[in-house]
Structure 1
Amino acid sequence: MNNKTLLSIVFLILVFSCKNKAPLRISSESFSEKELAQCASENCPEITINYLQILGDEAISTPINTTINEFIISSLYIGDPEQEPQASTITESAKDFIKMYNTHSAEFPDMATAYFAEINVSKLYQSTQLVSLEMRNYLFTGGAHGYGSVIFKNFDLETGEQLSIADLVKNIDAFTDFAEQKFRTQFEIPQTGSINATGFWFEDDTFFLPPSIGVTNQHIIIRYNQYDIASYAAGPIEFKISRDEASDYLNY
């Protein structure tokens, strides 16, 4: 086989591979209780869901979409906290949410306020290597107030793999120390001494990162949900670090 023939074969393989690797696209989706037939004839709690689905290469899109769907399903689950949700689709989880509402309404007919759920999954940042998603939920199921939270999910766009903070940064211990310095400055806590000096609730008086961090074009977002490091009344605690300042610590 001569060199020209070999080069032609290699070229054809590359062209064929490129043609068969579908480019990733992001589709905006929504769901509400109005899509359920039962809600045309019965009183249903309000359910508002806006989310994304990744389209294209299934090896990459499937694990990302699965994570999004699992977040929505778990957000709507108000059953036994010791058990996992049985629903496997958003529609099923919405029906289960309504079923629990009806059960509670029957047990407590004087409930003053109906349940509702708001869930949003949006894109914070996308590059050729990384997509960062913000996932928000807020549910009211009776009581003095509802409860909401925000988490971030980051994915490698070459593999579809979900990335931990340790994957996003080069040295987790060094980044944690760097973030603590920024946190102390942001919230006017002396750089030495107790991290809880101004009233935070860090366990063992030791700074820690939340389970996930968000990535935007300009910032790294570090957010603690209500009760994580302060009272409910204090609200979520969030601060941002410039990506320029953090660049030495980042892998992406």
Structure 2
Amino acid sequence: MSLLKFASMACIALTLGACQSVFQPKPMAFTQDASEQVKTGCEGQDCPLVNIDTLHFADAPQLDALIEKRLLQMTVNSPDEKLAPSLDAYREQFLRTAQPRNSTYLQAKVREQHDDLVVIELSSYLDTGGAHGMPGRGFINYSRTAQKEVTLQDMLLPGQEQAFWGAAKVAHNNWLIKTHYGSDPEYVKNWPFQKTPHVALLKDNVVLKYDVYSIAPYSEGHVELSIPYSRLRGILKPEWVPAEG
């Protein structure tokens, strides 16, 4: 039997997700674009600065545009604040109005590439001179074939959102036990489980990342919960479950 015929028969026997994992596509090429700029004419350690570390995908201009848009959305800190039209415009605007000890940091990095997905992790940090700055996080699950972001609603089978967050709550309980916070009734009362918009379809598990102050104090940073794919059978659409999961 030829290798091609054998592979075709294997794909018929396997689910779509398994076929995607058997035939791994070549990772998408990208370049890193990192820069740091201080306020013109300023000297010393307290000079305002902007650090931007982003990515460019030559074969996916839609992903480039999405990354820039999402990074810019992370710079908005009040309802009346307008979104800058570009990262360059944001840099100029921030440095023009920034006070000493003000700084901002934006980053996009590839967390994983597997099957049809490129998973981008986004980070931000704004320091306005207080005791500590305010960090932010986010994910983009980008489908190479559909050339668009895969949202949580895209991932789930119809009517399974409640079941998904039920599995997330189990992961949260496991985190409480692991960190020993679960034995502190006051902690459990003050920091209850919440939903998060930051969901990533990684190769080995589904990851949920939380903003600071959402389910834990600032000192805990961005809490990350993991849900095994085995717990999401009948909840996630099969095409988003890697064979190894």
Structure-2 change in CA distance of 1:196 and 1:222 (3 Å): farther
TM-score, normalised via structure 1 length: 0.68
**Residue matched to 2:191:** 201
1:49 correspondence with 2:48 = no
Distance in 1 of aligned mates of 2:118 and 2:194: 24
Q: Is 1:154 aligned with 2:141? A: yes
Q: 1:154 to 1:29 in 2, by over 3 A?
A: same
Determine if contact 1:27/1:52 at 8 Å carries over to the other structure.
yes
> How far apart are residue 76 of structure 1 and its match?
4.3
User: Percent identity between the aligned chains?
Assistant: 19
Matched residues, number: 201
User: Contact conserved, 2:199 with 2:209, CA < 8 A, in 1?
Assistant: yes
In 2, the alpha carbon distance for the partners of 1:77 and 1:177 equals 31
> 2:127 and 2:69 mapped to 1: Cα distance?
20
Question: Structure 1: which 5+ runs fail to align?
Answer: 1-22, 106-113, 190-194
**Contact 2:114/2:203 (CA < 8 Å) preserved in 1?**
no
Distance, in Å, in 2 between the alignment partners of 1:168 and 1:155 is 12
Q: Is the 8 A contact 1:76 1:94 kept in 2?
A: no
The aligned residue for residue 231 of structure 1 is 217
Give the 5 Å matches for 1:83-232. 83-85=81-83, 87-101=84-98, 104=99, 114-170=101-157, 171-188=160-177, 198-202=188-192, 207-232=193-218
Counterpart residue identity of residue 118, structure 1? Y
Unaligned runs of 5+ in 2: 1-26, 179-184, 241-245
Distance in 2, matches of 1:221 and 1:24, equals 22
Relative contact order: is structure 1 or structure 2 higher (C-alpha 8 Å, sep ≥ 6)? 2
Tell me by how many angstroms 1:51 deviates: 1.4
> Rg bigger for which structure?
1
Taking the aligned partners of 1:196 and 1:132, their CA distance within structure 2 comes to 36
The structural deviation recorded for 1:122 is 0.8
